[in-house]
């Protein structure tokens, strides 16, 4: 009897589960499994339903509603959008290490380069005119001087950056 009931209800359950699951954002297979469990519970307690097809349609809709309610209430761990925006302690440590390495490399630059790069990195956000005035050079020579200094800085930092990369 149970085997005949399952065989008779299977095509209807598959169709109903597909229709209801996608509307609720669930998986049809999960919905089918939940309804089969409800049917087994029903068979153990009350026996077969008098109208199996009607019972099955109601059971599918009830399970789909339960799944939608559960999905709305559940929140997986680690998906708080505020967590992604707040930098963690490792971010601060790495940023401090990068800043320190940059400042150390700037101090090792030759000639006027340390003062020029420090002026470029200044939190005051100085204009070229202000930087040229501070360094006592013409504004027109600031661009080429900056290019030379940044080239030197790049060469100084290359070994440090290369040492941090994974090998092999």
pLDDT averaged over 10-residue windows placed end to end, the chain, 168 residues = 81 89 81 91 88 91 87 70 70 90 92 92 89 90 92 85 53
> What's residue 59's pLDDT?
92
Q: Which residue ranges make up each domain of the chain? A: 2-73, 89-164
- C-alpha 1/C-alpha 48 separation (Å) is 9
**Cβ–Cβ under 8 Å, residues 100 and 93:** no
Q: What is the mean pLDDT of the chain?
A: 84
For residue 132 the two structure tokens come to: 């040229």
Core vs surface per residue 19-55: b (16+ CB within 10 A) or e: ebbeebebebeebbebbbebbeeeeeeeeebeeeeeb
Domain 89-164 has CATH 1.10.10.10: yes
Structure letter (DSSP) for residue 137: S
- Using one digit for the tens of pLDDT, what is the confidence trace for 19-65? 888 776 778 899 899 999 999 898 888 888 889 899 999 999 998 88
Helices H / strands E in the chain, number of each:
8, 0
Q: At what angle do helices 28-45 and 52-73 cross, to 10 degrees?
A: 120
Q: Residues in the chain, how many?
A: 168
> What's residue 145's pLDDT?
93
**Cβ–Cβ under 8 Å, residues 13 and 61:** no
Please give the model's pTM, rounded to 2 decimal places. 0.44
* Of residues 101, 113, 104, the one with CA closest to residue 142: 113
The CA distances from residue 9 to 24, 26, 129, in Å, are 22, 21, 83
For residue 114 the two structure tokens come to: 């340390």
- C-alpha 18/C-alpha 26 separation (Å) is 9
- C-alpha 117/C-alpha 96 separation (Å) is 18
């Amino acid at each position: 009897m149970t085997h005949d009931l399952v065989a008779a209800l299977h095509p209807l359950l598959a169709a109903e589960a597909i229709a209801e699951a996608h509307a609720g954002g669930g998986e049809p297979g999960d919905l089918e499994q939940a309804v089969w469990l409800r049917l087994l519970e029903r068979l153990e307690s009350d026996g077969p339903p008098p109208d199996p097809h009607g019972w099955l349609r109601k059971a599918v809709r009830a399970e789909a509603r339960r799944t939608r309610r559960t999905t709305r209430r559940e929140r997986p761990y680690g998906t708080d959008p505020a967590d992604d925006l707040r930098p963690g302690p490792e971010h601060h440590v790495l940023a401090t290490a990068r800043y320190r390495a940059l400042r150390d490399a700037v101090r090792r630059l030759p000639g006027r380069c340390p003062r020029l790069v420090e002026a470029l990195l200044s939190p005051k956000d100085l204009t070229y005119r202000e930087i040229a005035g501070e360094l006592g050079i013409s504004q027109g020579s600031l661009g080429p001087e900056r290019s030379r200094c940044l080239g030197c800085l790049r060469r100084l930092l290359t070994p440090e950056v290369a040492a941090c990369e994974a090998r092999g």
